[in-house]
Amino acid sequence: METKILSEHYHKPEFRALAGYKALGGYEMLAKALKMERQKIIDEVKASGLRGRGGAGFPTGVKWGFLPNNGEPRYLLCNADESEPGTFKDRKMIERAPHQLIEGMIISAYALGARKSYIYMRGEYTGPGRILRQAIDEAYAAGLLGGNILGSGFDLDLDLYMGAGAYICGEETGMISSLEGLKGQPKLKPPFPAVQGYLRKPTIVNNVETLASVVYVLRDGVAGYRAHGTEKSAGTKLFSVSGNVNRPGTYEVPLGYPLKDFIEQECGGLKPGRTLKAVVPGGSSAPVLTADEALRATLDYENLASLGSMLGSGAIIVIDDSNCMVDVLGTVSHFYWHESCGQCTPCREGTGWLHKIVDSILHGRGKPGDVDLLVKVADQMKGRTICALSDAAALPVISFVTKFRDEFEYYIREGRSKVTGKGPTDAQMHH
């Protein structure tokens, strides 16, 4: 069963505008928060067990605790650069409830002592960007942003910054570089952004869903928030589901929910006559699960890690038996090759090699030994770079070729797909 905390009112069109949001309880937690001690809010977020919903799953309250208490100006940045393939839940949230994010940001900025905040949104999101801009303007007009918010003496300026097409800007230091007017290349950590981030000032970067969740931590209290989910994976989470299911979309379930039930009930199961082949459980960077693994997985950080994969951004891609895994990996390896920022050699060169080898197999030019070569190249890309993109490119490749090795070997040997029986198509040749 879905458990709708964040998404309770997403089906109501009026929830998008300020008046409708307020009528359904919106901004009540802001009024409450502005009367609270800042540290009390941080303590509650820490005790709630809320973990970053963008992909890394780092405990939000712990991240907030890294901010130095030195009186320097500090910034709160919202990461709305939703680009992990398979992920669209932040877009849905912003389209249906932009004020949820704004309220979460004002509360969080107040707790952290930030007086300037940006939402960094991927440039392609023109539609959601317009909705968010309008909501920010509404909030300013209503005195919820700007000077002396609700008479509390707290000032906050919030601006929307549109990126221009680069996956790597979803990495928090890449995002900071981009906001500073540079190429969106990640920076070496340490120093972590909490110590030296935007303009070398203390900066907290949180995902859209994470910041909106802060509202509900305050509303339901620590025990109420923890009533859903598991001990280490507290609360509910929005999942983006796509691929070969009858009802793709965004669903909110408690963490720890069985993936099998999720696919069969929330997603309406597979198309008639099809069987499950594989599931990517956390966006394209998450190693793929076989059908057997997927059917015993639960949707929480620990269980998916124990299966050698990850919850990531909560983007579930369901793959049925009509798909050729070589072809699926083809678009994924193309993605990382295209999106590597080029800064670190193992990633720049490695993503290129992975893409070239998979592509040559797909074009019927595969060689014996290519599967082992893919694993060897991928192994050399792990843990050697400034950011996690290199690992994110390497891990899915290793999982695809080891778990579906027969499909790769067949394609190399026969020059065509074991599943579809076809060789390279025009469409793939153009890719």
Partner 1 sequence: MFQLSDEGKAFVKKQLARYEQKESAIIPSLYRVQDENGGWVSPEAIDHLSELMDIPASRIQEVMKFYTMFNQRPRGKYHVQVCTTLTCGMLGGRELCSFLMKEHGVKGPGEVSKDGKFSFSHVECLGSCDTAPVMQINREPYHESLTEEKALKILKELK
Interior/surface letters 22-51, b for 16+ CB within 10 angstroms, e for the rest: eeeebbebbeebbeeeeeebbbbbbbbbbb
User: Binding residue for partner 1 (CB under 8 A) from 79, 233, 303, 323?
Assistant: 323
Which residues does residue 76 pair with via DSSP β-bridges, in sequence order? 117, 204
Q: Which stretch binds partner 1 (CB under 8 A): 37-45, 154-162, 214-222, 293-301?
A: 154-162
Residue placing its CB nearer to partner 1 in the complex, 216 or 239: 239
Rule CB under 8 A: is residue 133 a binding residue for partner 1?
A: no
Fill in the amino acid letter for 193. Answer: P
Q: Does 325 bind partner 1 (CB under 8 A)?
A: no
- CA-to-CA dists, residue 73 to 43, 146, 194, angstroms: 21, 16, 12
197 binds partner 1 (CB under 8 A): no
Of 97-105, 123-131, 142-150, 224-232: span binding partner 1 (CB under 8 A): 123-131
Long-range contact pairs involving 32-37 (C-beta distance under 8 Å, separation at least 24): 32/218, 33/107, 33/110, 33/111, 33/218, 34/110, 34/149, 34/150, 34/152, 34/154, 35/152
Instruction: Say whether residue 171 binds partner 1 (CB under 8 A).
Output: no
By beta-carbon proximity to partner 1, the closer residue of 126 and 345 is: 126
As to burial, measured by CB atoms within 10 angstroms (0-12 exposed, 13-18 middle, 19+ buried), residue 242 is middle
DSSP annotation string for 13-44: GGGGSHHHHHHTTTTHHHHHHTTS-HHHHHHH
Asked if 335 interacts with partner 1 (CB under 8 A), we say yes
Number of residues that bind partner 1 (CB under 8 A): 63
Asked if 67 interacts with partner 1 (CB under 8 A), we say no
User: What's the Rg (C-alpha) of the chain?
Assistant: 22
Question: Residue 247 Cβ, how far from partner 1 at the closest point, in Å?
Answer: 9
What share of residues in the chain are helix, strand, coil (percent, to 5)?
45, 15, 40
Q: Which of 20, 59, 113, 123 binds partner 1 (CB under 8 A)?
A: 123
Determine which residue in the list 242, 265, 290, 402 makes contact with partner 1, applying CB under 8 A.
Answer: 242
CB of 427 to partner 1, least distance (A): 4
CB of 50 or CB of 326, closer to partner 1: 326
Out of 78, 156, 286, 328, the residue judged to bind partner 1 by CB under 8 A: 328
Q: Is 238 in the site for partner 1 (CB under 8 A)?
A: no
Q: Which of 165, 364, 369, 383 binds partner 1 (CB under 8 A)?
A: 165
Please report how the helices 126-141 and 89-96 are oriented relative to each other, as an axis angle in degrees rounded to 10: 40
Report the residue number, 233 or 340, with the smaller CB distance to partner 1.
340
Neighbours of 133 (CB within 10 A): 16
Residue 183 binding partner 1, by CB under 8 A: yes
Q: Is the peptide bond preceding residue 202 cis, with omega within 30 degrees of 0? A: no
Q: Does 252 bind partner 1 (CB under 8 A)?
A: no
Smallest separation, CB 271 to partner 1 (Å): 12
As a dihedral over the C-alpha atoms of residue 261, residue 263, residue 267, residue 273, rounded to 10 degrees, the angle is: -120
Length of the chain: 431
Binding site for partner 1 (CB under 8 A): 82-88, 91, 116, 122-127, 130, 159, 161-167, 178-184, 198-199, 240-244, 248-250, 280, 284, 315, 317, 319, 323, 327-328, 330-332, 334-335, 338-339, 341, 425-428, 430-431
